Amino acid sequence: MKEDSAPCSWIPDLSDASGPIYLALADAIQEGIAAGTLPEGERLPTHRALAAALDLDLTTVTRAYGEARRRGLVDAAAGRGTFVRGPLAQPPMVEPLPAEIDLSMNLPPQPPAAAIPAKLSQTMAAILRRSDAARVLSYHPSAGGTAERAAAARWLAPLLGTVPPSRVLVTAGGQAALMALLTTLAPPGSTVLTEQFTYPGLRAIAVQTGIALEGLPMDGDGLLPEALDAACARLKPAALYTIPTIQNPTAATMPPARRAAVAEIARRHRLAVIEDDAYGLLPSAPAPPLATFAPDRTWYLGTLSKCLLPALRVAYLVAPDDRCAARIQAALRAVCQMVPPLSAAVATRWVQDGTALRLVEDIRAEAARRQDVARRILPAGSFAAHGQGHHIWLRLPACRSATGFATQARRFGLALVPDTAFAVGPAPDASVRISLGAAPDLDSLAAALGRIGSLLDENADALAEIV
């Protein structure tokens, strides 16, 4: 049977629709997914079949499917049709099953010699012994006090140069800062551009706030400037969200020329840029942040989660100017009231007394050792990585699916994350992100990667079933 003459498998009731019909049809897709009538992986009727069934113009259905794609509801695969992406309220995340070795969490490794727990308890005890300890136990300004903002500016100076503390906000982790930024910069229904694979936390925010993400194609150096230029002209996006250094998940790092090109395009299109530099302090010789190319339109975010400790819940956000800083401070108050004062006090002290810098150096060195293990064990050329990063992006052999591979790895006692958790739009090939930081030590990491190496073997599917 010719595809276009196939019976229409799904016909929504649009009799009560008001407003543009293409939006009503996109809403119906969203409702169908939420109600379970359109399950994950279901192929939607062809444009032509649905147009005929609903007595609509073909272009109306095409527009509706385009809108559904923009909302992240469906993926279109050339020549194969349009497929339901999955339950909207839950972008695919890591399965919460216990795994023998966790390669799913992008944590900084904790080198035993760094003695982070001991340092943490000493610093907290010292803070609580201070004469003004009661202050730490109370409410604080929502973006940090004067000393904390000054420490943040000092911490970021090697990357950004001198930034007035009035533009620097201390936030309760990177995720809270992103929520405040997205709700401030991108109204519901607007489009935010991202790399074609991006941080799942950003996808979760887009779902909560009704923002459409549009993924931009990438190469080994990050997002393609010409694609950014075209998307700006076509979609009039509210912002670009990008991770230029050790991108999560692809590990791509934009070289300076690519950063300059991105900044020039952003300036030409008057585009707000959210630069998520979560991994920016890991390279010993980092490229200049995008914020140094376009300081007047870039929101620079540097969390301490990846270079020190996620449990601190401290990140530093630099606004383009003082007015923008005040605006985002109001949003931060709405999102989480304030950065946890005890954590902010620890971070401030560690920045001031040099502990933070020494810990980053220890973590960077351990990350490099772990990358060496990956290079030694996995086949050459099978993955993309940065030599001082926490993760690698493993390209799977043709015919292997990323979710199938992750499920299989579970059976071998390993947790890793398939590309579907990061994809904004259709994924071109199958890849998985393997995080090296959560494994307890180098030996268990080597054992885990050895198992992954054997899983890459074509026969692993069959072997896994043998008991």
Ligand X SMILES: Cc1ncc(COP(=O)(O)O)c(C=O)c1O
Structural contact between residues 308 and 108, judged by C-beta atoms closer than 8 angstroms: yes
Q: 33 vs 193, which CB is nearer to ligand X?
A: 193
> Does residue 292 belong to the site contacting ligand X (CB under 6 A)?
no
Tell me which of 142, 191, 305, 435 binds ligand X, using CB under 6 A.
305
Q: Which stretch binds ligand X (CB under 6 A): 83-91, 167-175, 229-237, 250-258?
A: 167-175
User: Closest distance between ligand X and the C-beta of residue 443, in Å?
Assistant: 25
| H helix or E strand, kind and range, residue 275 | strand 272-276
Q: Which 245-264 positions form the footprint of ligand X (CB under 6 A)? A: 248
Helices (H) and strands (E) in the chain, counts: 17, 17
d(CA 157, CA 143): 19
User: Closest distance between ligand X and the C-beta of residue 7, in Å?
Assistant: 44
Q: 75 vs 276, which CB is nearer to ligand X?
A: 276
> Does residue 165 belong to the site contacting ligand X (CB under 6 A)?
no
User: Closest distance between ligand X and the C-beta of residue 391, in Å?
Assistant: 9
Tell me which of 32, 173, 225, 418 binds ligand X, using CB under 6 A.
173
The tokens for 14 are 């649009």
Structural contact between residues 210 and 237, judged by C-beta atoms closer than 8 angstroms: no
Q: Which 79-118 positions form the footprint of ligand X (CB under 6 A)? A: 106
User: Closest distance between ligand X and the C-beta of residue 173, in Å?
Assistant: 3
> Does residue 201 belong to the site contacting ligand X (CB under 6 A)?
yes
Q: 49 vs 346, which CB is nearer to ligand X?
A: 346
Closest CA to 224 of 198, 253, 195: 195
- Cβ–Cβ contacts within 10 Å for residue 42, how many? 16
> Does residue 283 belong to the site contacting ligand X (CB under 6 A)?
no
Q: State how beta strands 222-223 and 168-171 pair.
A: unpaired
Tell me which of 45, 109, 174, 389 binds ligand X, using CB under 6 A.
174
Closest CA to 300 of 282, 286, 320: 320
Q: 251 vs 373, which CB is nearer to ligand X?
A: 251
Structural contact between residues 446 and 377, judged by C-beta atoms closer than 8 angstroms: yes
Tell me which of 310, 387, 404, 453 binds ligand X, using CB under 6 A.
310
Query: Mind giving me the DSSP string for 351-415?
Result: HHHSHHHHHHHHHHHHHHHHHHHHHHHSPTTSEEE-TT-SEEEEEPPTT--HHHHHHHHHHTTEE
- Which chain residues interact with ligand X by CB under 6 A? 106, 173-175, 199, 201, 243, 248, 276, 278, 303, 305, 310, 315
